[in-house]
Structure 1
Amino acid sequence: MLNLKSLAIGATMTLACISAFAQAASAPATPRVDKREVNQDKRIQQGVGSGQLTAKETYRLEKEQAAINKAESKAKSDGTVTKQERRRLHKMQDQASKDIYKQKHDAQTAAKP
Protein backbone atom coordinates (compact mmCIF):
# COMPACT_ATOMS: atom_id res chain seq x y z
CA MET A 1 0.00 0.00 0.00
CA LEU A 2 2.89 2.31 0.75
CA ASN A 3 4.23 1.75 -2.76
CA LEU A 4 0.86 2.72 -4.24
CA LYS A 5 0.80 5.94 -2.26
CA SER A 6 4.37 6.69 -3.31
CA LEU A 7 3.49 6.01 -6.93
CA ALA A 8 0.43 8.28 -6.78
CA ILE A 9 2.38 11.09 -5.13
CA GLY A 10 5.20 10.69 -7.65
CA ALA A 11 2.75 10.87 -10.55
CA THR A 12 1.19 14.02 -9.15
CA MET A 13 4.57 15.66 -8.65
CA THR A 14 5.57 14.75 -12.19
CA LEU A 15 2.39 16.30 -13.58
CA ALA A 16 2.97 19.45 -11.54
CA CYS A 17 6.55 19.75 -12.78
CA ILE A 18 5.51 19.25 -16.39
CA SER A 19 2.80 21.87 -15.99
CA ALA A 20 5.23 24.36 -14.42
CA PHE A 21 7.79 23.76 -17.16
CA ALA A 22 5.19 24.26 -19.88
CA GLN A 23 4.16 27.58 -18.33
CA ALA A 24 7.74 28.80 -18.12
CA ALA A 25 8.12 28.58 -21.90
CA SER A 26 6.42 32.00 -22.33
CA ALA A 27 3.03 30.45 -22.91
CA PRO A 28 -0.16 32.41 -22.30
CA ALA A 29 -1.30 32.44 -18.69
CA THR A 30 -4.26 30.38 -17.51
CA PRO A 31 -4.24 31.09 -13.76
CA ARG A 32 -7.76 29.79 -13.03
CA VAL A 33 -7.09 26.55 -14.85
CA ASP A 34 -3.78 26.13 -13.04
CA LYS A 35 -5.28 26.86 -9.61
CA ARG A 36 -8.09 24.34 -10.15
CA GLU A 37 -5.57 21.78 -11.33
CA VAL A 38 -3.57 22.16 -8.12
CA ASN A 39 -6.72 21.95 -5.98
CA GLN A 40 -7.90 18.81 -7.76
CA ASP A 41 -4.50 17.18 -7.34
CA LYS A 42 -4.69 17.95 -3.60
CA ARG A 43 -8.17 16.42 -3.41
CA ILE A 44 -6.95 13.26 -5.11
CA GLN A 45 -3.96 12.97 -2.78
CA GLN A 46 -6.18 13.56 0.26
CA GLY A 47 -8.43 10.74 -0.97
CA VAL A 48 -5.43 8.44 -1.34
CA GLY A 49 -4.18 9.35 2.12
CA SER A 50 -7.54 8.81 3.79
CA GLY A 51 -8.24 5.55 1.96
CA GLN A 52 -11.32 6.93 0.19
CA LEU A 53 -9.77 6.18 -3.21
CA THR A 54 -8.69 2.76 -4.41
CA ALA A 55 -5.64 2.29 -6.63
CA LYS A 56 -7.84 1.88 -9.70
CA GLU A 57 -9.85 5.02 -8.92
CA THR A 58 -6.67 7.00 -8.31
CA TYR A 59 -5.21 5.81 -11.61
CA ARG A 60 -8.33 6.89 -13.53
CA LEU A 61 -8.45 10.30 -11.84
CA GLU A 62 -4.74 10.91 -12.47
CA LYS A 63 -5.24 9.90 -16.11
CA GLU A 64 -8.09 12.40 -16.38
CA GLN A 65 -5.86 15.13 -14.94
CA ALA A 66 -3.16 14.25 -17.49
CA ALA A 67 -5.71 14.66 -20.29
CA ILE A 68 -6.57 18.12 -18.97
CA ASN A 69 -2.86 19.01 -18.88
CA LYS A 70 -2.49 17.81 -22.46
CA ALA A 71 -5.50 19.87 -23.60
CA GLU A 72 -4.10 22.92 -21.81
CA SER A 73 -0.73 22.50 -23.49
CA LYS A 74 -2.41 22.15 -26.87
CA ALA A 75 -4.49 25.28 -26.23
CA LYS A 76 -1.34 27.23 -25.33
CA SER A 77 0.72 25.87 -28.24
CA ASP A 78 -0.27 28.60 -30.71
CA GLY A 79 0.53 31.39 -28.25
CA THR A 80 -3.01 32.29 -27.29
CA VAL A 81 -5.85 30.60 -25.44
CA THR A 82 -9.20 31.47 -26.98
CA LYS A 83 -12.51 31.76 -25.13
CA GLN A 84 -13.62 28.49 -26.68
CA GLU A 85 -10.44 26.73 -25.49
CA ARG A 86 -10.84 28.16 -21.97
CA ARG A 87 -14.48 27.04 -21.94
CA ARG A 88 -13.42 23.53 -22.97
CA LEU A 89 -10.74 23.41 -20.26
CA HIS A 90 -13.20 24.57 -17.60
CA LYS A 91 -15.76 22.02 -18.76
CA MET A 92 -13.13 19.26 -18.53
CA GLN A 93 -12.20 20.43 -15.04
CA ASP A 94 -15.84 20.56 -13.98
CA GLN A 95 -16.25 16.94 -15.04
CA ALA A 96 -13.01 15.94 -13.31
CA SER A 97 -14.19 17.63 -10.11
CA LYS A 98 -17.46 15.69 -10.22
CA ASP A 99 -15.56 12.46 -10.86
CA ILE A 100 -13.28 13.09 -7.87
CA TYR A 101 -16.29 13.72 -5.64
CA LYS A 102 -18.11 10.59 -6.85
CA GLN A 103 -15.08 8.36 -6.38
CA LYS A 104 -14.27 9.72 -2.93
CA HIS A 105 -17.85 9.27 -1.73
CA ASP A 106 -18.69 5.87 -3.14
CA ALA A 107 -18.73 2.68 -1.11
CA GLN A 108 -15.29 1.55 -2.25
CA THR A 109 -12.30 2.11 0.00
CA ALA A 110 -8.65 1.22 -0.24
CA ALA A 111 -7.65 -1.91 1.63
CA LYS A 112 -5.94 -1.22 4.93
CA PRO A 113 -2.48 -2.82 5.30
Structure 2
Amino acid sequence: MKNLRTTAAATLLSLLAGATWAQAADTSATPATPRVDARQAVQGQRIEAGDQKGTLTRREQRRLELEQKGLAKAEANAKADGTVTAQERKRLHHLQNKASRDIRRQKHDAQNAKPAAPTTP
Protein backbone atom coordinates (compact mmCIF):
# COMPACT_ATOMS: atom_id res chain seq x y z
CA MET A 1 0.00 0.00 0.00
CA LYS A 2 2.85 2.33 0.84
CA ASN A 3 4.46 1.65 -2.57
CA LEU A 4 1.18 2.51 -4.30
CA ARG A 5 0.99 5.87 -2.51
CA THR A 6 4.60 6.66 -3.33
CA THR A 7 4.07 5.75 -6.99
CA ALA A 8 0.87 7.79 -7.18
CA ALA A 9 2.54 10.80 -5.56
CA ALA A 10 5.52 10.55 -7.92
CA THR A 11 3.21 10.29 -10.93
CA LEU A 12 1.20 13.30 -9.79
CA LEU A 13 4.35 15.36 -9.25
CA SER A 14 5.71 14.45 -12.68
CA LEU A 15 2.39 15.41 -14.32
CA LEU A 16 2.38 18.77 -12.55
CA ALA A 17 6.00 19.39 -13.51
CA GLY A 18 5.24 18.46 -17.12
CA ALA A 19 2.27 20.84 -17.25
CA THR A 20 4.37 23.66 -15.80
CA TRP A 21 7.15 23.00 -18.31
CA ALA A 22 4.66 22.98 -21.20
CA GLN A 23 3.27 26.35 -20.10
CA ALA A 24 6.75 27.83 -19.91
CA ALA A 25 7.49 26.61 -23.43
CA ASP A 26 4.33 28.28 -24.77
CA THR A 27 5.36 31.74 -23.60
CA SER A 28 7.82 32.05 -26.48
CA ALA A 29 5.29 31.53 -29.27
CA THR A 30 7.56 32.76 -32.07
CA PRO A 31 11.22 31.90 -32.39
CA ALA A 32 13.63 34.80 -32.27
CA THR A 33 15.59 35.83 -35.35
CA PRO A 34 17.30 39.01 -34.16
CA ARG A 35 20.00 39.07 -36.86
CA VAL A 36 17.42 38.68 -39.62
CA ASP A 37 15.27 41.44 -38.13
CA ALA A 38 18.25 43.78 -37.70
CA ARG A 39 19.41 43.25 -41.28
CA GLN A 40 15.91 43.90 -42.62
CA ALA A 41 15.77 47.17 -40.69
CA VAL A 42 19.15 48.27 -42.05
CA GLN A 43 18.18 47.33 -45.59
CA GLY A 44 14.96 49.32 -45.25
CA GLN A 45 17.00 52.34 -44.11
CA ARG A 46 19.32 51.94 -47.10
CA ILE A 47 16.35 51.93 -49.49
CA GLU A 48 14.92 55.02 -47.80
CA ALA A 49 18.30 56.79 -47.98
CA GLY A 50 18.53 55.99 -51.69
CA ASP A 51 15.10 57.49 -52.19
CA GLN A 52 16.00 60.64 -50.23
CA LYS A 53 19.27 61.15 -52.12
CA GLY A 54 17.66 60.51 -55.49
CA THR A 55 19.89 57.53 -56.35
CA LEU A 56 16.86 55.25 -56.73
CA THR A 57 14.06 55.70 -59.23
CA ARG A 58 10.50 55.09 -58.06
CA ARG A 59 10.45 51.80 -59.95
CA GLU A 60 13.69 50.62 -58.36
CA GLN A 61 12.45 51.61 -54.92
CA ARG A 62 9.17 49.73 -55.39
CA ARG A 63 11.01 46.64 -56.62
CA LEU A 64 13.39 46.69 -53.64
CA GLU A 65 10.52 47.21 -51.18
CA LEU A 66 8.67 44.24 -52.71
CA GLU A 67 11.81 42.17 -52.27
CA GLN A 68 11.86 43.19 -48.58
CA LYS A 69 8.20 42.14 -48.26
CA GLY A 70 9.11 38.77 -49.75
CA LEU A 71 11.90 38.44 -47.19
CA ALA A 72 9.46 39.20 -44.37
CA LYS A 73 7.08 36.57 -45.74
CA ALA A 74 9.88 33.99 -45.98
CA GLU A 75 10.81 34.76 -42.36
CA ALA A 76 7.18 34.36 -41.25
CA ASN A 77 6.96 31.04 -43.08
CA ALA A 78 10.16 29.85 -41.40
CA LYS A 79 8.76 30.80 -37.98
CA ALA A 80 5.32 29.30 -38.67
CA ASP A 81 6.06 25.90 -37.16
CA GLY A 82 7.62 27.42 -34.04
CA THR A 83 11.23 26.61 -34.92
CA VAL A 84 13.62 28.17 -37.40
CA THR A 85 15.86 25.32 -38.53
CA ALA A 86 19.47 25.79 -39.59
CA GLN A 87 18.45 25.22 -43.21
CA GLU A 88 15.70 27.87 -43.00
CA ARG A 89 18.10 30.30 -41.33
CA LYS A 90 20.67 29.68 -44.07
CA ARG A 91 18.04 30.36 -46.75
CA LEU A 92 16.98 33.59 -45.01
CA HIS A 93 20.59 34.78 -44.89
CA HIS A 94 21.03 33.89 -48.57
CA LEU A 95 17.92 35.90 -49.48
CA GLN A 96 19.15 38.83 -47.40
CA ASN A 97 22.57 38.73 -49.07
CA LYS A 98 20.86 38.85 -52.46
CA ALA A 99 18.64 41.74 -51.37
CA SER A 100 21.68 43.63 -50.08
CA ARG A 101 23.47 43.18 -53.41
CA ASP A 102 20.34 44.31 -55.27
CA ILE A 103 20.12 47.47 -53.14
CA ARG A 104 23.75 48.32 -53.80
CA ARG A 105 23.45 47.68 -57.54
CA GLN A 106 20.34 49.81 -57.86
CA LYS A 107 21.75 52.68 -55.81
CA HIS A 108 24.98 52.79 -57.81
CA ASP A 109 23.70 52.24 -61.33
CA ALA A 110 23.49 55.04 -63.88
CA GLN A 111 19.79 55.64 -63.27
CA ASN A 112 18.83 58.42 -60.91
CA ALA A 113 15.48 59.78 -59.88
CA LYS A 114 14.51 62.85 -61.83
CA PRO A 115 14.50 66.02 -59.76
CA ALA A 116 11.16 67.68 -59.25
CA ALA A 117 10.34 70.43 -61.71
CA PRO A 118 10.79 73.91 -60.23
CA THR A 119 7.58 75.69 -59.40
CA THR A 120 6.96 79.12 -60.84
CA PRO A 121 5.01 81.66 -58.84
TM-score (norm 1): 0.77
Relative contact order (C-alpha < 8 Å, sep 6+): which is higher?
1
Summarize deviations over 1:52-111 as a string: whole Å, max 9, x none. Answer: 000000010000000000000000000000000000000000000000000000000001
Aligned-partner Cα distance in 1 for 2:70–2:80: 15
Aligned-partner Cα distance in 1 for 2:75–2:103: 19
Once superposed, what is the RMSD of the aligned Cα atoms?
A: 0.9
TM-score (norm 2): 0.72
The one-letter amino acid paired with 1:43 is R
- Structure 2 residue ranges without an equivalent (≥5): 1-27, 117-121
- Structure 1 residue ranges without an equivalent (≥5): 1-24
Aligned-partner Cα distance in 2 for 1:94–1:49: 23
Between structure 1 and structure 2, the one with the greater Rg is 2
Q: Number of matched residues?
A: 89
% identical equivalent positions: 55
What is the CA distance between 1:48 and its match in structure 2? Answer: 0.1
Q: Following superposition, which runs of at least 4 residues in structure 1 exceed 3 angstroms of deviation?
A: none
